[in-house]
């Protein structure tokens, strides 16, 4: 285990089931064991995470085999959540912070292991792999070779696949998982109309708890909001 400092907060790095793991501690915990699970891209666009650490939340991360979400990655995250609860007294339920491909992982994790999830914060999430990385629509397909190499699934298999996050939205709804959804309306990497918009419509049509905030003229980056107050309020309400 290695100890260091991350943006003024105590950080420990260790190995969990063969994967690099990180836990960042607040200066004073909020007493509820609240924690965020950054599902991919640790350290990217950290403004929200820093704000929540200031509010007494912990921040955790465990490395993925691939950002394209293998079942193994989901299973490790479930056991990682159990470990953090047993070892550090964190809540049994976390709020995943899922940005881009991290949103793919967060949504799939919530569908498979809803007992680990208090709520979801999804930011420009990949929810339809035919859109990204396949590029069958408005997005490009530059990432498709990486996806094929990482998953062993070619385009034909992906077209026939029925386990995209948009195929599992009913599982999130059945589990009563609230969702905060942030997106750029000019995103051409993960187009909202082919990804997040499908989740927003499904939740609204079926009485799910969802807040969707669009950023006019914004592309895929940056993640987060200029003023993260709505996301902070959401996290505090459910976490």
Structural domain containing residue 217: 2-221
Give the per-residue pLDDT at 26: 98
Specify if 238 maps to a domain.
no
Handedness of CA 24, 100, 197, 81 (dihedral sign): negative
In a domain, 229, yes or no: no
Residue 76 lies in a domain: yes
CB 106 within 8 A of CB 120: yes
pLDDT at 120: 98
* Spatial distance between the Cα atoms of 181 and 164, rounded to a whole number of angstroms: 17
pLDDT of residue 136: 97
Contacts for 211-217: CB closer than 8 Å, 24+ residues apart: 211/179, 211/180, 211/181, 212/181, 212/182, 212/183, 213/180, 213/181, 213/182, 213/183, 214/183, 214/184, 214/185, 215/182, 215/183, 215/184, 215/185, 216/185, 217/184, 217/185, 217/186
Please, what is the end-to-end C-alpha distance for the chain in angstroms?
Answer: 27
pLDDT for 222: 97
Task: Give residue for tokens 């082919």.
Answer: 194
Report yes or no on 134 lying in a domain: yes
Domains contained in the chain, number: 1
pLDDT at 55: 98
In a domain, residue 235? The reply is no
Q: What is the CATH number of the domain that holds 119?
A: 3.40.50.1820
Buried b (16+ CB within 10 A) or exposed e, 101-114: bbbbbbbbbbbbbb
Q: What is the pTM of this model?
A: 0.97
**pLDDT at 59 (0 to 100):** 99
Give a yes or no: residue 232 inside a domain.
Answer: no
Q: Is residue 195 part of a domain?
A: yes
Asked if residue 135 is part of any domain, the answer here is: yes
Mean pLDDT by 10 residues, the chain (239 residues): 97 98 98 98 98 98 98 98 98 98 98 98 98 97 97 97 98 98 98 98 98 98 97 97
SS3 content of the chain, % helix, strand, coil (to 5): 35, 20, 40
């Amino acid at each position: 285990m290695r100890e260091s400092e991350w943006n003024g907060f105590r950080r420990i790095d260790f190995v969990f089931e063969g994967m690099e793991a990180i836990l960042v501690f607040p200066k004073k915990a909020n007493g509820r064991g609240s924690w965020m699970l950054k599902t991919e891209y640790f350290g990217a666009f950290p403004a929200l995470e820093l704000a929540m650490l200031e509010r007494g939340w912990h921040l955790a991360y465990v490395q993925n085999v691939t950002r394209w979400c293998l079942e193994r990655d989901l299973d490790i995250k479930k056991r990682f959540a159990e470990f953090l609860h047993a070892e550090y007294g964190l809540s049994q339920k976390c709020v995943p912070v899922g940005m881009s491909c991290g949103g793919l992982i967060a949504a799939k994790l919530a569908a498979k292991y809803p007992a680990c999830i208090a709520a979801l914060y999804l930011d420009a999430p990949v929810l339809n792999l035919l859109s990204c990385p396949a590029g069958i629509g408005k997005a490009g397909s530059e990432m498709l070779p990486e996806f094929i190499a990482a998953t062993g699934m070619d385009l034909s298999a992906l077209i026939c696949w029925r386990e995209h996050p948009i195929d599992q939205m009913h599982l999130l709804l059945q589990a009563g998982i609230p969702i905060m959804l942030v997106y750029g309306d000019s995103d051409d990497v993960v187009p909202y109309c082919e990804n997040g918009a499908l989740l927003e419509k499904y939740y609204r049509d079926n009485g799910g708890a969802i807040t969707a905030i669009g950023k006019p003229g914004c592309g895929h980056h940056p993640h987060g909001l200029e003023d993260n107050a709505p996301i902070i309020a959401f996290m505090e309400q459910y976490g």
